[in-house]
Structure formats: structure tokens, C-alpha cells
Amino acid sequence: MCVLNMKKTVFYIVLNLKTSKGFESFGKFYIGNNRKTANSIFKSLAGNKDVNEKDILLMELMETVDGLPLNIRAITCSLAELAENCKIITKEIFKFFNLNVIKE
């Protein structure tokens, strides 16, 4: 009997806030299992790719394969950029999932 090794891959954008204990997650956007879409959405976000310890808000593109997380890339942003990024993510996810529903 042949058993296929089917790994389930999903992508998230995780929102983190710097605290006295380090960065703490306070939000997560599920953005599907399409790598191209996940990268495209994350690349469209405002922020700084040069993350340093002085930054307060951090957004991470995470890939989870069979429950194991992997950080793909991260940006830091201001509160205003975070608000705009949340709008961008929501709009893009809405378009992606609704277009996929129409195609099926």
C-alpha cells in the first residue's frame, strides 16, 4: 500500500507588539495555502524590512507546515501603517477567497 506524504501548508500574517517581556502576538490573519498570494500580499504592506530591537510593532509572514511554524519574513511598522496594512490584508483576502469561490 502506497501512502502519500501530503503536507498541509498554510500561511499567516502575525501581528506582534513589543512588551517588557519581548514581542507578544496579538493578532493573526489566515491568508490561505497559496504561497504566491501570501508573498504578494505581504510585499504590498507598508513598513520597514530592517527590523531592530527598538521597533514596537512587528508583522511576520509565517508558513506552517503540518503545524510547525516557519518565519518567512518580517517588517516593522508604525501604528498608522499597521492600520493601513490591516485594511490591505482584509481587502486582498476578501478578493482571493471570493474569486476562488467563483472559480469552483
Domain ranges of the chain: 9-103
- Can you read off the three cell numbers belonging to residue 33? 495555502
Q: In sequence order, what are the beta bridge partners of 22?
A: 19
Interval 92-101: pLDDT, tens: 999 888 876 5
Distances in whole angstroms, Cα of residue 28 to Cα of each of 9, 19, 84, 90, 101 = 16, 18, 15, 12, 23
Q: How big is the chain, counted in residues?
A: 104
Convert the pLDDT of each residue in 66-86 to its tens digit: 889 999 999 999 999 999 999
pTM of the predicted structure, to 2 decimals: 0.84
Q: Are 89 and 46 in contact (CB under 8 A)?
A: no
Measured CA to CA, the distance from residue 33 to residue 10 in angstroms comes to 4
